[in-house]
A and B are shown apart, each in its own frame.
Chain A
């Protein structure tokens, strides 16, 4: 039987087992929407802005191990989606983004709502396609899911002209797809792994540093086993939080620009560094010149060969899927007895405990004004560390990362690489859709939340009981902090006058709003909010305007050059 291109698109989504699509209709995708209307296997979530659709699909993917799917129209639909696509690309999130395009005969004629989607998205996708023939839709969508979800994951855009969605052909969905130009490496080289184990055994000051690759590769169980059997200190990057249980004593906290004193110093002073699914980002190691130490040996496991020796020269590269590689490490460790330098390790741990004793995350717990850290700490306690936390970008993001202890992967959802303000609320929409039984909270600021606040309407339509915690300091806090530290306290355009009344705003969207301005009210308010299992509660916490995120490694400096409180 012949199907239209639009029917084929929807059938492909069925074949891929897609349950949710986040999108916004428009002229070029009307045939596809018409087919979505006629079925009920795929549920479409109508957002209020295409950026929201992408972040929601992204939050969906991050909180599960599935590919997130978004559907947007041509032209402005696509350009609005670009921020979301770039966000997913930077953090290696698997997405398939189906975009409408003007009819093939109109392409290149500056048609209404035409843009060069493939051209505009090229630098921020893992791959993209323009489907010119209806016969190619099924194979292209198969390839899109395959590419998005394998190797180092990432977003794939499939651009389909309107006439292609109307044309007809026979439908058959390929069971598998192989591409001569795309063959991601899975298993790590056993010889390299053996060599790495020898180096680890000889280490006097070892350090395990893991990133988003452990989360994306679903390798936290294998990582935990490995770290336990080695007995070494472990740090996670911002993207890697939850990869190793944060409440374990071998965990030394997050590292990087706002990492803990102990994590940063252990990183800087280690003699054997074991990097797993992490990429030595500028926010993680600062300036590579300051990080470089000729006496340090670096082992690096990553699925993407181009991440290895990009910023920091690596001694033992191991390319492969993090989980498969760590399994092999664990197998080799179980098979042979490791002879470690116990006295050296004891001294190293004593040093780390001394650094830990510096209590770098301390803040004034007696303050009469609400301290933002206190809100996150209470959030952690009340949700028993078991909520999915999304965040926006800025100070609140760092406090959430520092004070919420993530013991499990896929609980911490933030835009780490691109740093996209406006990410948190729509990401929470996706996470809540994917995990209807879980508690989902969005920790945000009054600046970030306004960048995608329209999604409160989406939350109402789908009855999503997300808890929004706005740490409202009336400033773009991180901008203000940099201006205080590096620009002579000149707060250029970082103060927000004329903020909305968030309580009324939440209420006008049909939600519950709360304003909390006393420290004593924080805990009762959170308890009340989380007790409302069916409601979205928007909590506007009026916090200390002058609070800064500590420790801080200034841009371009080394990890040991921290500003401490």
Chain B
């Protein structure tokens, strides 16, 4: 099962390698991993999308907590949460495709942020599933390039991950 794990960790050199190293050393799966400093510059917030059985997820959270740089760990999937990912996708847009690509971007509430006479670059935000759906909806030969940030997640309402 897919899980979104949020980690607050010390914003120190090497902290990312400790997390990445843990996942590879113990054979845990990483679908995506994003990290950036929080409003408190001494802390970084990491969102890891992973998958595994309940037992594996229990171990992942325990092992993460065991890392000395890690301050807090929450499996967001255990409760109500919001997930967003940003994707930039460059699409071939010539001839009749030009209208079609614009329409598709609109349907998915994407924005065209760069235009040439041959292509569009579309910015799209949403859950990972929505971004996948967009890519599926587009003729694959028209996709020139994609770049995705990986998911970020936050708990709903008063579910707050803070020190």
Judge whether B156 is part of the interface by a CB distance below 8 angstroms. no
Flag if A127 contacts B68 (CB, 8 Å): yes
Name, among B17, B59, B63, the residue most crowded by chain A CB atoms within 10 Å (CB to CB). B59
Residue numbers in A under 8 Å from B9 (CB-CB): 181
Residue numbers in B under 8 Å from A179 (CB-CB): 68
Flag if A181 contacts B13 (CB, 8 Å): no
Judge whether B71 is part of the interface by a CB distance below 8 angstroms. yes
Flag if A306 contacts B163 (CB, 8 Å): no
Interface residues of A in 122-154 (CB under 8 A from B): 122-123, 126-127, 130, 147
Flag if A180 contacts B59 (CB, 8 Å): no
Pairs of residues from A and B, 8 with the lowest C-beta to C-beta distance, nearest first:
A306-B62, A127-B68, A181-B71, A305-B62, A182-B68, A123-B25, A306-B63, A306-B66
Residue numbers in A under 8 Å from B13 (CB-CB): 130
> Measured between C-beta atoms, what is the minimum distance from B18 to chain A in Å?
6
Number of CB contacts from chain A to chain B under 8 A:
38
Tell me whether A126 and B18 are in contact in the complex, defined as CB-CB below 8 angstroms, given that A181-B10, A306-B63, A310-B59 are known contacts.
no
Count of B residues near A, CB < 8 Å? Answer: 20
Flag if A147 contacts B68 (CB, 8 Å): yes
Between-chain CB contacts (< 8 Å), 7 pairs? A123-B21, A306-B59, A306-B63, A306-B66, A308-B62, A309-B55, A313-B55
In the complex, per-residue mask of A113-124: 1 if CB is within 8 Å of any chain B CB, else 0:
000001100110
> Measured between C-beta atoms, what is the minimum distance from B148 to chain A in Å?
28
In the complex, per-residue mask of A369-389: 1 if CB is within 8 Å of any chain B CB, else 0:
000000000000000000000
Further contacts, 12 of them, CB under 8 A, given A122-B14, A123-B25? A123-B21, A126-B68, A130-B14, A147-B68, A181-B68, A304-B66, A305-B65, A306-B62, A306-B63, A308-B62, A309-B58, A310-B59
Count of A residues near B, CB < 8 Å? Answer: 19
Judge whether B33 is part of the interface by a CB distance below 8 angstroms. no
Please report the C-alpha to C-alpha distance between residue A310 and residue B61 in the assembled complex, in whole angstroms: 12
Please report the C-alpha to C-alpha distance between residue A130 and residue B25 in the assembled complex, in whole angstroms: 22
Flag if B71 contacts A180 (CB, 8 Å): yes
Tell me whether A119 and B59 are in contact in the complex, defined as CB-CB below 8 angstroms, given that A147-B68, A305-B65, A306-B66 are known contacts.
no
Please report the C-alpha to C-alpha distance between residue A127 and residue B68 in the assembled complex, in whole angstroms: 7
Judge whether B69 is part of the interface by a CB distance below 8 angstroms. yes
Interface residues of A in 295-322 (CB under 8 A from B): 304-306, 308-310, 313
Interface residues of A in 261-313 (CB under 8 A from B): 304-306, 308-310, 313
Flag if B63 contacts A181 (CB, 8 Å): no
Please report the C-alpha to C-alpha distance between residue A180 and residue B65 in the assembled complex, in whole angstroms: 12
In the complex, per-residue mask of A53-76: 1 if CB is within 8 Å of any chain B CB, else 0:
000000000000000000000000
Q: Name B's A-contacting residues (CB within 8 A).
A: 9-10, 13-14, 17-18, 21, 25, 55, 58-59, 62-63, 65-66, 68-71, 163
> Measured between C-beta atoms, what is the minimum distance from B21 to chain A in Å?
6
> Measured between C-beta atoms, what is the minimum distance from B15 to chain A in Å?
10
Identity of the chain A residue whose Cβ is nearest the Cβ of B60 in the assembled complex: A306
Within 8 Å by CB of A119, from B17, B25, B68, lies B17
Residue numbers in A under 8 Å from B59 (CB-CB): 306, 310
Residue numbers in A under 8 Å from B18 (CB-CB): 122
Please report the C-alpha to C-alpha distance between residue A123 and residue B20 in the assembled complex, in whole angstroms: 11
Please report the C-alpha to C-alpha distance between residue A147 and residue B68 in the assembled complex, in whole angstroms: 8
> Measured between C-beta atoms, what is the minimum distance from A320 to chain B in Å?
15
Residue numbers in B under 8 Å from A308 (CB-CB): 62
Interface residues of A in 84-136 (CB under 8 A from B): 118-119, 122-123, 126-127, 130
> Measured between C-beta atoms, what is the minimum distance from A292 to chain B in Å?
13
Residue numbers in A under 8 Å from B63 (CB-CB): 306
Within 8 Å by CB of A118, from B14, B55, B65, B163, lies B14
Flag if A181 contacts B66 (CB, 8 Å): no
Residue numbers in A under 8 Å from B163 (CB-CB): 180
Flag if A181 contacts B69 (CB, 8 Å): yes
> Measured between C-beta atoms, what is the minimum distance from A268 to chain B in Å?
22
Please report the C-alpha to C-alpha distance between residue A181 and residue B70 in the assembled complex, in whole angstroms: 6
Identity of the chain A residue whose Cβ is nearest the Cβ of B71 in the assembled complex: A181
Identity of the chain A residue whose Cβ is nearest the Cβ of B68 in the assembled complex: A127
Please report the C-alpha to C-alpha distance between residue A89 and residue B68 in the assembled complex, in whole angstroms: 15
Please report the C-alpha to C-alpha distance between residue A140 and residue B10 in the assembled complex, in whole angstroms: 15
Residue numbers in A under 8 Å from B62 (CB-CB): 305-306, 308
Residue numbers in B under 8 Å from A118 (CB-CB): 14
Residue numbers in A under 8 Å from B65 (CB-CB): 305-306
Residue numbers in A under 8 Å from B71 (CB-CB): 180-181
Identity of the chain B residue whose Cβ is nearest the Cβ of A128 in the assembled complex: B14
Please report the C-alpha to C-alpha distance between residue A130 and residue B18 in the assembled complex, in whole angstroms: 14
Residue numbers in B under 8 Å from A305 (CB-CB): 62, 65-66
Please report the C-alpha to C-alpha distance between residue A119 and residue B18 in the assembled complex, in whole angstroms: 9
Within 8 Å by CB of B17, from A122, A180, A182, A310, lies A122
Name, among A119, A179, A181, A309, the residue most crowded by chain B CB atoms within 10 Å (CB to CB). A181
Residue numbers in A under 8 Å from B68 (CB-CB): 126-127, 147, 179, 181-182
Within 8 Å by CB of B21, from A122, A147, A181, A313, lies A122
Identity of the chain A residue whose Cβ is nearest the Cβ of B64 in the assembled complex: A306
> Measured between C-beta atoms, what is the minimum distance from A128 to chain B in Å?
8
